[in-house]
A and B are shown apart, each in its own frame.
Chain A
Amino acid sequence: MKNTILIVDDMEINRVILAEGFKGGYEILEASNGRQAIEIINSNENIAAVLLDMIMPEMNGMDVLREMNKSGKIFHIPVFIVTASDSEKLLMDAYDLGAVDIVAKPFMMNFLKCRVDNIIELYRHRNDLEDIVNEQVERLNSLNQSMVETLATLIEFRDCESGEHVKRICGLTEILMTAVSDMYSEYHLAKTEIDKIVTSSVLHDVGKISISDGILNKPGKLTREEFEIMKQHTVKGCEILKKIPDIMDKDIYNYSYDICRHHHERWDGRGYPDGLKGDEISIWAQVVSVADVYDALTSQRVYKAAYDHNTAVNMIYNGECGVFNPKVLTAFDKSMDKIKHKNAMLQRLSC
């Protein structure tokens, strides 16, 4: 537990008085100027409160507050200004910089102790609550992840050929989305968003659960009618997601919905279900499309053998699987080694 009070004052007399007052309940550390104080604050995890003089050589009290704002320490460690100053401006500036309380010298020790004790207790509660909230957020995230994975596993069960397909899609989406984001500023996304997209990509084929076995697992070419039904897995997937929006994070839901609906759209507008064109298709849906096609080509299916990496890549570049965003293809090309490596690893795992 944080149990140290840091006393900062250039006059030893003032430090001794404060140390005497607080020594029973707390560990005491002393600094005779702002610079020493900052060194201690930055290196000691147990500071429960700082009693800070304003006017000091080296760094003064305001400088210490500024430094603590920069490092964010001010949000976790209460700072009491203990000063003989009654300059309203100085004291207001100190409050503005996050000081919790201002104590005038000479102070009444008993009152000062009560004030400091109370605030330390309050900060302890606050810091504990923050820890609890963070822990719960972590648990929620992991629950989220497992919900999404559970759904994906259900699809795998139905679509007995896809096997580890969803896992590979995740890996490919991560590589490709990161490359696109790094290479093109217009498609730049924060790492946290990319992580959400990767999680969401797992659900791209959730609609296949609504397609009958006869079509889903047909060991030959689909008829025109059958293909029309097969195409429905995009919209059906969205219908399923619409019924369970609460089991996942709102962002994950939005990404999943978009990817589910649009991972068969094509850059030239000849995809399905909405015939979106160019950047009408979100970049994450575009990325999952390429990942999905590459994985379908390099995997064995009931209706086809697995193509090797080079053949699959050539087929994608030649437009045999539809037209893709040239920028996504360039990023795909740049990440070829990573993709090849990751895919080989995952294909091995699924054998």
Chain B
Amino acid sequence: MSLLEELIESGVNVDEALERFMNNAALYERMLGKLVDAVNSTEVMPAFEAQDYETALTNAHTLKGVMGNLSITPLYSAYTDIVRLLREDKPEQARKVLEEVLPVQEKIIACIERYK
């Protein structure tokens, strides 16, 4: 199986993403590689732990945009919910969504790293 095939199985909308990348699959894969760093530099959980909800919101917002642009739909949906809940001043619920999605995120990141 290829990286893109595996991602499709994890719920990534590869077709939509390729449209956005002007059908340049190589570039899409390269940007998926960059996602690993992006996720590491904008981790949301430490901000929750420090109860720094402003940073949590900024980072979740950044990841929402990136996940959306790469069409990683399950993560995009989760970060969309987290941003909304934080804006609605519901940090506990937001944290719960994050806790649920982190294993999915780890799986997708691990998959990408395998093909690097």
Q: Do A and B come from one complex?
A: yes
A binding-site residues for B, Cβ under 8 Å: 10-14, 16-17, 20-21, 53, 55, 83-85, 87, 105-110
B interface, size bucket: 20 to 34
> Is the contact region of chain B dominated by helix, strand, or loop, or is it mixed?
helix
Tell whether A10 pairs with B62 under 8 Å between CB atoms, given A17-B31, A20-B21.
yes
Docked complex Cα distance between A11 and B65 (Å)? 9
- What are 7 inter-chain pairs, A to B, with CB distance below 8 A? A12-B34, A12-B38, A13-B31, A14-B65, A16-B30, A107-B69, A110-B19
| Chain B residue at minimal CB-CB distance from A109 | B20
CA distance A12 to B32 in the complex (A): 11
How distant is the Cα of A53 from the Cα of B68 in the complex, in angstroms?
A: 14
Query: A87: which of B21, B24, B35, B87 is its contact (CB, 8 Å)?
Result: B87
- The verdict on B110 contacting chain A, using a C-beta distance below 8 Å, is no
- B interface, CB within 8 angstroms of A: 16, 19-22, 24, 27, 30-31, 34-35, 38, 58, 61-62, 64-66, 68-71, 76, 83, 87
When A and B form their complex, what is the total count of cross-chain residue pairs whose Cβ atoms lie within 8 Å? 64
User: Is B22 within 8 A of A85, CB to CB?
Assistant: no
Known contacts: A11-B62, A13-B66, A16-B27. The answer to whether A106 contacts B38 by CB under 8 A is no
Bound together, the chains give a CA A17 to CA B19 distance in angstroms of 10
Quick check: B61 and A109 within 8 Å, CB to CB? no
| Contact between A84 and B65, CB atoms less than 8 A apart | yes
CB of A83 within 8 A of CB of B65, answer yes
B19 to chain A, nearest CB (A): 6
Specify which chain B residues have a CB less than 8 angstroms from the CB of A16 in the assembled complex: 27, 30-31, 34
CA A83 to CA B64, docked complex, whole Å: 10
